[in-house]
């Protein structure tokens, strides 16, 4: 896949971050737990979106479905200083965001650099899912879900965690 220097470097950093999240010190799978912790800590992590975005992007792990992959292919080939670098409103039209991730998107977009970060997050997730040269972190997560048989439960757990986090921040519950 054709990637700009910017996204090649950032994808390597994101891959390293995901590798760090995969296992605990005893070698046990820890990705699910660590992603939950990252999501719960977003209010503190959001300060890092400009200087260390790869540390915050895991909040959006598996949050996007790419409805127009060609738009993302073009986006990952761009440099931030290019006139062609996409803006979030345009890029977001080429994907859907999972319901559980909507509050996280809102939190990030409230930041001055939020839109640029969301472009980076979507592009990094696109690369993680579709770049053949990317790390097998996603495959490890899929294998964990298959072993545990809890793929659907993960989505519900994440939605509940997101709702709990919103409640902690003073927002009304979105539970039915």
Beta bridge partners of 66: 95
Instruction: Note the pLDDT tens digit of each residue in 89-103.
Output: 999 999 999 999 999
Q: Residue 57 in contact with residue 124, Cβ under 8 Å?
A: yes
Each domain of the chain, given as residue ranges in start order, spans 5-162
Gap between the Cα atoms of 84 and 77, Å rounded: 10
Which pLDDT value is given to residue 135? Answer: 52
Mean pLDDT of 5-10: 96
Residue 83: which pLDDT band, with cuts at 50, 70 and 90? confident
pLDDT digits (tens, 9 = 90+) for 20-63: 999 888 888 899 999 999 999 999 999 999 999 999 999 999 99
């Amino acid at each position: 896949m054709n990637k700009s220097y910017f996204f090649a470097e950032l994808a390597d950093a994101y891959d390293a971050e995901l590798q760090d999240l995969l296992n605990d010190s005893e070698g046990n799978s820890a990705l699910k737990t660590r992603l939950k912790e990252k999501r719960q800590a977003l209010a503190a992590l959001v300060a890092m979106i400009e200087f260390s975005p790869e540390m915050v992007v895991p909040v959006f792990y598996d949050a996007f479905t790419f409805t127009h992959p060609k738009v993302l292919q073009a986006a990952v080939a761009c440099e931030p200083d290019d006139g062609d670098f996409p803006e979030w409103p345009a890029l977001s039209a080429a994907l859907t965001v999972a319901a559980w991730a909507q509050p996280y998107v809102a939190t990030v977009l409230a930041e001055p650099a939020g839109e640029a970060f969301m472009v980076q997050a979507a592009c990094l997730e696109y690369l993680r899912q579709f770049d053949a040269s990317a790390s097998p972190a996603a495959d490890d997560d899929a294998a964990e879900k298959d072993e545990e048989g809890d793929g659907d439960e993960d989505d519900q757990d994440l939605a509940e965690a997101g709702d709990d986090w919103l409640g902690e921040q003073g927002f009304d519950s979105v539970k039915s």
